[in-house]
Structure 1
Amino acid sequence: MKILAASDLHSDKKAAEKLAKKAKKNKVDLVVLCGDILEMGSDGNGLIGPFKKEGIEVLMVHGNHDTPMDMDFLSEKYGKGVYNIHSYYKLFGDVAVLGAGGTSFGFIGSPDDDLFKSLKVNFKKSKGKKTVLLTHEPPLDTKLDNIGWTNAGSADIRKIIETYKPDLVVCGHIHETFGLTDYLGKTKIVNAGKSGVIIDI
């Protein structure tokens, strides 16, 4: 399965159009968007349409500049094939994609007990499948959260990875490390960034 992963578009329509062209050129099966798709107050026009036009399914979670309600709005606006996966999961053959959006700090969403409970259930339902976790924040103390003078990732996301050991985690949030890859144990972690990355799973 081939995916195009991206994050932190911050309502940049030209970036969305470039990503849709990249997805088509690389014949991806799925697009995943890892938060901050919108900028606060944006209506989201022109951000999902380019992917719909190419007939590519989109899964997304919110970040700290957008909300779960924004993701629900986009999902309802564009209909079938566009899904807010925060605290849910979706199966694609032998691959399960799970969502855990928001941030541990910042403007809007923070992980909470309900999210941890839903992840426990969703990972259990995904047993025997390859698992891909979509987050906004990278885990704490990795190459992906190092911003020079400190590590700014999420201890909660790290705990989730160490507990459930997904095959792949795709995140964003830390602009300084866009495009970088690291590992926690056998879990591959990718900071997708605005330009997007192609990943085979």
Structure 2
Amino acid sequence: MKVLCFSDLHRDQDAARELVKMSAQADLVIGAGDFANQHQGLADTLDILSDIQLPTCLVPGNGETFEELRDAASGWLSAVVMHGDGQTMKTTAGSIEIWGVGGGIPVTPFGAWSYDFDEERAAEMLADCPLGGILVVHSPPIDTVDHDSSGRIRGSQSIRDCVERCVPKLVVCGHIHSDWGKQVRVGNSLVVNAGPRGTIIDVDG
């Protein structure tokens, strides 16, 4: 199964158009949050991305809420918005369990506009994540692809705990711009900080 992964478009319409083109090579599409800038401009990229007719999973970033993303994506018939839940996604290459949790985890230093959650709440939303599927989160697991421009790690302990417990085949995240495009492994799980240019990952169904 070929999975097109991306994150952090931040209203970049050119990047969205390139992702639509890239989707021709994929079976499944995953968008790991931050389509907007501080709650503004969701439609800028979603209206373009909605041309993708493949099964698509989206989670909110810290720049938009779950409700905002769900409402903005309501006309994108092949897309599902997840946040603290999951489902079996069926593709032409097979089916796979996906669990999604969005937002900034842990709470960011950005202030009231940022859609954030503390580690305790995040652990609750991750509690029912299935084994061996795909985990889609906006924030990275701690000490993976989460090094900011100063080298400080900014990821989530609760997300890492979930990865170690559930051993997903793939973890798709974003949030930390300085680690866009980087991939690491946590045990048998591949963790990808996707970034706006996108990347296609082969996943066993």
Which TM-score tier does this pair reach, normalised by the shorter chain? 0.7 to 0.9
Shift in alpha-carbon separation, 1:83–1:45, aligned structure 2, 3 A: same
Alpha-carbon distance in 2 for matches of 1:145, 1:35: 15
Q: 2:127 aligns with which of 120, 124, 131?
A: 120
Aligned partner of 1:109: which letter? D
Aligned partner of 1:195: which letter? R
- The within-5 A match list for 1:189-200 is 189-200=191-202
What is the alpha-carbon root mean square deviation over aligned residues?
Answer: 1.9
What TM-score comes out, normalization by structure 1 length? Answer: 0.86
Are 2:50 and 2:76, in contact at CA under 8 Å, matched by a contact in 1? no
Aligned partner of 1:16: which letter? A
- The within-5 A match list for 1:44-193 is 44-76=42-74, 78-91=75-88, 92=90, 93-103=94-104, 104-106=106-108, 107-111=114-118, 116-123=123-130, 127=131, 130-142=132-144, 144-147=145-148, 148-193=150-195
Structure 2 gaps of 5+ residues are 109-113
Equivalent residue, structure 1, for 2:8: 8
What TM-score comes out, normalization by structure 2 length? Answer: 0.85
Shift in alpha-carbon separation, 1:79–1:141, aligned structure 2, 3 A: closer
Percent sequence identity is 30
Are 1:62 and 1:86, in contact at CA under 8 Å, matched by a contact in 2? yes
2:57 partner SS: strand
Alpha-carbon distance in 2 for matches of 1:100, 1:41: 18
Are 1:51 and 1:58, in contact at CA under 8 Å, matched by a contact in 2? no
Aligned partner of 1:53: which letter? D
Are 2:119 and 2:156, in contact at CA under 8 Å, matched by a contact in 1? no
Q: CA deviation at 1:111?
A: 4.7
